[in-house]
Amino acid sequence: MPSLQSRINTAADLFRLQETLQQRASSNNRYIAVCGDTGCSAWGSKSVKDVFRDCLEQKGLAGQVGMKFTGCLGLCESGPVVIICPEQIFYQKVQEEDVEEIIDKTVTRGEIIPRLLYQDVLSGETYTYMNEIPFYQKQKRLLMGNNLKIDPNSIEDYLALGGYSATARALTEMTPLEIIDEVKFSKLRGRGGAGFSAGDKWKECYDAVSDRKYIICNADEGDPGAFMDRSLLEGNPHSVLEGLIIGGFAVGAREGMIYVRAEYPTAVVKIKHALHQAEELGLLGENIFGSGFDFQVSISIGAGAFVSGETSALIASIEGRAGEPRQKPPRLAQRGLWGRPTVVNNVESLANIPVILREGEEYRRTGTDKSRGTKIFSLVGKVVNTGLVEVPLGITIREIIEDIGGGIKGGRSFKAVQTGGPSGGCLPEHLLDTPTDFEELNAVGSMMGSGGMIVMDDETCMVDVARYFLRFLQDESCGKCFSCREGINRLLEIIDDIVHGLGTPGHIDLLRELSVVVKDSTLCGLGQTSANPVLSTLQYFEEEYRAHIKDKKCPAGVCKALIHFSIDLEKCTGCGVCKKKCPEEAISGEKKEIHEIDPERCSKCGICLDTCTFDAVLKC
């Protein structure tokens, strides 16, 4: 590609290259987009992509129809997702054997293949085009919208969409203070969880006097149920890199760093490739755009500890020390990496920066008065449409779950939703109309966090949910603070007793008291929020705790120690299937005679319940 052989020395060089690439894209806009993100890859999208390439080559269409192995397209439940562009015909659950038919019918002749179209579970309606699907209707995809048009390995795709024009404007037309003021005016708040003003954080680092400063992209996403940062890095790495460059210029840092966990090898490969491309074009290095600004970016691989998402622990990890938080002040803006002024932003925060500088007015029209822009949520659990959703800040939880997520899977009833990751709170149905806003979520006992959103139905035990997240937080506590280390252990011990039928009435008050101690006396955000799963489930689902303690029953039928299986004498036909499947040989009875379960031998595995086709097995 001759136009990309020379370096970009000025903003004018960039704009000429962008124009060339835009003309090229508009003249040959026929392509097939195959989602290559983690969800669709797990469904086999890499193999589907390879078959598409081979088939296009065999049919002599490779020069006429392009291929993009894209970042996340959102609707993970429907993977592998394939979209035929420019029409944006949406095909779901595409298999290798479907590829040739798609090329012959849809790509070549424009015919639709009905069986591959998305069908709404509730209405039964079928949708042909991506933008018609209800999942996308209430989203505003400022950050993820370009994933459909970008191959993450192609800087050309990013440039053709105006990539790095915000950097050119920042470095050649604005002063650092003007950039910081624009970020402040945008009301961008940190998307890593705390919600600090990004502009205020930058200004504090800008004001610090030092001959050396750093800016760090925190991609060490600690929430195991949320993968927004990884998806942005893997789907559009240049957007994050561009935000990092602009941030470095604004705060006076000539060195940037991307801190990413080793468990994300694909993200590491994509970032390294993006850095190499940017350096080759002169978008990184010395005298970027002839502005006199030099900027270098390196990658630091983290061990994946949850606590390293806390900024001072992250700094310690980069410096080769144990990833433990430290007391503040001094704040990182005064004393950060290697004792120098440092600003740390997460991936999603940095990806917002180019959008703000390019489309400031539209950006400021999105969101709430206190928090502008969008937020990416990982919508998972007992919901019809799982995946990554990007919505305006302030949209209600109900709209995300019901309108975008399609409601509760299997027609069951909604019970709770946890927002904010492992340290988030569990909210009941009467709080579904809570806006997705930092202050609003904090007020009801949860938080925005990294953007995890786990939906639970009526078969979920909230006591067991609290135990599940406490186990994770127990493993991830760095152990530096006694109140966190021992407090979480004691909370977990009490809840373990409760789910095993050993709870006492005094345990409820003890859980509340101990949770408050942990929350108020711990150094970092992990410890301060670690009691949220307990406090929120006690606040909104106390009756479940009391049922476990007083009645020795688990209302949801989850806690094994508090449930038992029996056979309905009127429904049992004596077919013997449950008896054959029982691994403990706990079921007795002759053929065509009523069977019974020996409670002493029953391991409560539930196999009999799953195999009985006559609904004769009861769990209570």
Query: Which residues, listed in sequence order, are joined to residue 260 by a DSSP beta bridge?
Result: 219, 301
The CATH number covering residue 483 comes to 1.20.1440.230
Which ranges of 252-377 does DSSP label H, i.e. alpha helix?
265-281, 311-318, 347-358, 360-364
DSSP 8-state class, residue 331:
P
Q: At 463, is the secondary structure helix, strand, or coil?
A: helix
pTM score, whole prediction? 0.93
Q: Of 290, 223, 212, 222, give the one whose Cα is nearest residue 257.
A: 212
- 200 with 343, same domain: the answer is yes
- 317 with 408, same domain: the answer is no
**The pLDDT value given to residue 230:** 86
Query: Which residues, listed in sequence order, are joined to residue 295 by a DSSP beta bridge?
Result: 285
Cα 547 to the center of its chain, rounded Å? 34
- 213 with 292, same domain: the answer is yes
**Domain end marker among 324, 344, 364:** 364
**Domain end marker among 410, 438, 457:** 457
Report yes or no on 10 lying in a domain. no
* pLDDT at residue 450 is higher than 90: no
Complete DSSP assignment for 223-255: -TT--HHHHHHHH-HHHHHHHHHHHHHHHT-SE
The three-state DSSP-derived secondary structure of 488-508 is HHHHHHHHHHHHCCCCCCHHH
**The pLDDT value given to residue 222:** 56
For the chain, the straight-line distance linking the first and the last C-alpha, in angstroms and rounded, comes to 68
Report yes or no on 25 lying in a domain. no
- 445 with 482, same domain: the answer is no
Report yes or no on 115 lying in a domain. yes
Report yes or no on 536 lying in a domain. yes
Report yes or no on 57 lying in a domain. yes
Report yes or no on 145 lying in a domain. no
- 490 with 575, same domain: the answer is no
Rounded mean pLDDT, 42-65: 96
**The pLDDT value given to residue 221:** 61
114: tokens are: 């009905």
The CATH number covering residue 599 comes to 3.30.70.20
Report yes or no on 350 lying in a domain. yes
**The pLDDT value given to residue 2:** 38
- 43 with 99, same domain: the answer is yes
**The pLDDT value given to residue 1:** 39
Rounded mean pLDDT, 28-56: 95
- pLDDT tens per residue, range 79-107: 999 999 999 999 999 999 999 999 999 99
Q: How confident is residue 121, by pLDDT bands cut at 50, 70 and 90? A: confident
- pLDDT tens per residue, range 347-398: 999 999 999 999 888 899 999 998 999 999 999 999 999 999 999 999 999 9
Rounded mean pLDDT, 311-334: 90
Q: Of 291, 330, 337, 287, give the one whose Cα is nearest residue 316.
A: 337
- pLDDT tens per residue, range 458-506: 999 999 999 999 999 999 888 899 999 999 999 999 999 999 999 999 9
The CATH number covering residue 122 comes to 3.40.30.10
In the chain, pLDDT over 70 holds for what percent of residues? 98
Q: How far are the Cα atoms of 183, 187, 271, 534, 569 from residue 579, in angstroms, in the given order?
A: 67, 63, 55, 40, 15
Total domains in the chain come to: 5
- 175 with 296, same domain: the answer is yes
The CATH number covering residue 453 comes to 3.10.20.600
- 419 with 297, same domain: the answer is no
* pLDDT at residue 303 is higher than 80: no
**The pLDDT value given to residue 530:** 92
Mean pLDDT score of the chain, rounded to an integer?
93
- 212 with 326, same domain: the answer is yes
- 167 with 275, same domain: the answer is yes
Sheet with 89-91, edge to edge strand ranges = 66-70, 31-35, 82-85, 89-91
Q: How confident is residue 225, by pLDDT bands cut at 50, 70 and 90? A: very low
Report yes or no on 1 lying in a domain. no
Q: How far are the Cα atoms of 20, 144, 374, 523 from residue 351, in angstroms, in the given order?
A: 25, 10, 11, 29
- 173 with 206, same domain: the answer is yes
* pLDDT at residue 437 is higher than 60: yes
d(CA 250, CA 208): 12
* pLDDT at residue 39 is higher than 90: no
- 199 with 184, same domain: the answer is yes
**Domain end marker among 498, 517, 551:** 551
Domain that holds residue 584: 564-619
Q: Of 165, 308, 299, give the one whose Cα is nearest residue 233.
A: 299
**The pLDDT value given to residue 160:** 96
* pLDDT at residue 220 is higher than 80: no
